[in-house]
Amino acid sequence: MLLLRLLQKPDRAPRFGRVLDDEPGVVELLDGDPLLGGKPTGERLAFTPQQWQDDPDGSEVELLVPVVPQKIIGVGSNYRNHTKEMGKPIPSEPLLFLKPPSALLSPGRPIARPQGFERCDYEGELAVVIGRRCHRQPVSTAMNYVLGYTLCNDVTVRDLQKRDGQFTRAKGFDSFCPLGPVITTDFDMGRAAVRSHLNGKLVQDGATDELIFSIEELVSFISHVMTLEPGDVISTGTPAGVGNLQPGDVIELSADGIGRLKNPVIAAPALPTLSNRS
Ligand code: MG
């Protein structure tokens, strides 16, 4: 089953929906958040996230991020080949960081690239969506707390990641967390692949058998640091092939069973300067 969120015009009320495996072109609307027990209403819409992303403005429906998390936990250096390309050692335990929920960006919407930086990189990642509260769980039970999987683009200003020495600003700009287009509840994460296409050219092609820390290990490890709440997102790290985005580019992530997460890139307004404080 696939889960998604959308806005219906003209009242623009966000609705949750589901797509059943035997009817891939039809969204069945729910009466509330499936994480809080939302049930099917019987209302049905002919809609596919893929067609919508190719023409987001020409529709009476607008696709939204499929979940609104309290927190988005990123994992750095979790693919061997990406860790190598960044010139870093293989970590002995997961490297965690947070992205603010204000960075979330719906499918089809533009990533606003801050001006004045050399590298503003895409990072195509598979993301875990938590289904119920998870606190201090061992690896053996961690998967019981996973609702499903989606795609996350962990957009990063590489200059700032190096200059600041931590990740808050580098990974926290508005629009730096494209998420979606759907959550799939049926997904074999052990054999999954995530790909990124920049302007139609394949630039990342990673398989989860390259993960340094598995999904179970990440969920368990994080749950001993912070309680995971329903809807929280863990972005599991990016494979090799990260690269710079420029205004005018289109970046598209994809995974079998989840679909494509497509976002164009625009230039953000210039940043003010806070220097000359002497
Ligand atoms: Mg990342």
pLDDT in tens, 229-267: 999 999 999 999 999 999 999 999 999 889 999 999 999
Look at residue 257 in the predicted model and tell me its pLDDT. 87
How many angstroms is it from 3 CA to the middle of ligand 1?
24
How many angstroms is it from 278 CA to the middle of ligand 1?
36
Look at residue 8 in the predicted model and tell me its pLDDT. 85
Alpha-carbon distance of 161 to 192, in angstroms, equals: 28
Task: Supply 132's token pair.
Answer: 């119920």
How many angstroms is it from 236 CA to the middle of ligand 1?
7
Assigned fold of 2-63: Vcp-like ATPase; Chain A, domain 2 (3.10.330)
Look at residue 277 in the predicted model and tell me its pLDDT. 62
How many angstroms is it from 9 CA to the middle of ligand 1?
34
How many angstroms is it from 64 CA to the middle of ligand 1?
21
How many angstroms is it from 211 CA to the middle of ligand 1?
12
How many angstroms is it from 149 CA to the middle of ligand 1?
16
Alpha-carbon distance of 134 to 224, in angstroms, equals: 9
How many angstroms is it from 207 CA to the middle of ligand 1?
15
How many angstroms is it from 89 CA to the middle of ligand 1?
16
72-268 CATH: 3.90.850.10
DSSP state of 79: B
15 DSSP β-pair partners: 6
Task: Supply 230's token pair.
Answer: 């329903």
| HSE-CB for 187 with a 13 A CA cutoff | 29
How many angstroms is it from 74 CA to the middle of ligand 1?
6
How many angstroms is it from 43 CA to the middle of ligand 1?
38
Nearest to 106 by CA among 254, 262, 258: 262
How many angstroms is it from 177 CA to the middle of ligand 1?
10
Q: What confidence tier does 86 reach under pLDDT thresholds 50, 70, 90?
A: confident
Domain residue ranges of the chain, discontinuous segments joined by +: 2-63, 72-268
How many angstroms is it from 218 CA to the middle of ligand 1?
14
- % of the chain with per-residue pLDDT over 70: 99
Contact between 102 and 175 under an 8 Å Cβ cutoff? The reply is no
How many angstroms is it from 91 CA to the middle of ligand 1?
14
How many angstroms is it from 240 CA to the middle of ligand 1?
11
Nearest-Å Rg of the Cα atoms of the chain is 18
Mean pLDDT of 110-137: 97
How many angstroms is it from 237 CA to the middle of ligand 1?
5
Task: Tell me if domain 2-63 and domain 72-268 are identical in fold.
Answer: no
Alpha-carbon distance of 270 to 21, in angstroms, equals: 45
How many angstroms is it from 127 CA to the middle of ligand 1?
10
The pLDDT mean for the chain works out to 93
Mean pLDDT of 18-46: 93
